[in-house]
Copies of this chain bind each other. A is one copy, B any other.
């Protein structure tokens, strides 16, 4: 259990980017959307099938230059159980194409219930004497508000199956400070959460110096990103908020260590909807996504040097 598999991919592709697959049906180009709606009507099933095909084509266009995808669970749940089937199929397809898969579910609960989430997203589930893998991602984002009872149940599955978690610390949104910046004996809550990440991951530090317990730290707070990089030397960062939310590559650089490691930066809409911004033929949506991903790699690596 560590992020070694992810970090190896980042090094070999010289790209600390994760592509966020947060697919609203509106993002799916009409030519693709329509053929599924024609087949199955205006149903959740049709939407889910269209989104799977969209994801598949994006993965094909990105898998040799982007090391990882992050699936935002909300955009799959929104399409009901057919949407969850698309989530499962997308995860399997991305793994088949060699990508590292993060499910962004921000799950949280305690004890046996948290074990159920771990089984669902990172592990397996016994049905009689058969071992079934429900979703099978490589890593899961989680919310630590419930304390160690919510994190420990994940760790044994992570250890057994070499999986990882990212715990929300300092999120990218404007109101993240309402709770996360509150000072407890002079230390903000997000830093306390970060300290716990170091503790939870302590005995899982891998070859690159990072444990299997990472933290979510927003690109929109570059100062806190640098501060946490120094404070949490063994904690890998998942960094949302690049681009659309206003986080720039210069500020993000502070989230990396001296080897250009220790963070992976997410971009969702800018990649998914690059064809809209480019104004190219929508049939070239995957090509536009690839061009945006290359532009982003260029942008990030102009501030850091990897490996």
Chain A residues with CB under 8 Å of chain B are: 22, 24-25, 37, 41-44, 46-47, 72, 74-75, 77-85, 87-88, 106-111, 113-114, 116-117, 119-121, 125, 127-130, 132, 134-135, 143-150, 168, 171-180, 182-184, 189, 192-193, 196
Contacts and interface: CB of A to CB of B under 8 A. Distances in A.
Given A127-B46, A145-B143, A192-B182, A77 B173 contact: no
A132 B173 contact: no
A184 to B, nearest CB: 5
Contact of A88 (B72, B81, B116, B182): B81
A130 B42 contact: yes
B128 A146 contact: no
Contact of A192 (B75, B135, B179): B179
A148 B174 CA distance: 9
Q: Taking the full assembly, how many copies of this chain does it contain?
A: 2
22 contacts: A22-B113, A37-B127, A37-B128, A42-B127, A42-B129, A74-B109, A74-B113, A74-B117, A78-B116, A78-B125, A80-B120, A80-B135, A83-B134, A143-B143, A143-B145, A146-B168, A146-B171, A146-B176, A146-B179, A147-B179, A179-B189, A183-B184
A151 B184 CA distance: 24
A134 B175 CA distance: 29
Contacts of A43: 127, 130, 132
Contact of A173 (B80, B116, B149): B149
A84 to B, nearest CB: 4
B173 A193 contact: no
A176 B149 CA distance: 8
Nearest to A22: B113
A27 to B, nearest CB: 12
Given A72-B113, A146-B171, 4 more contacts: A75-B113, A77-B117, A81-B81, A146-B173
Contacts of A189: 179, 182, 189
A264 B107 CA distance: 23
Contact of A145 (B77, B82, B179, B196): B179
Contacts of A183: 184
A46 to B, nearest CB: 7
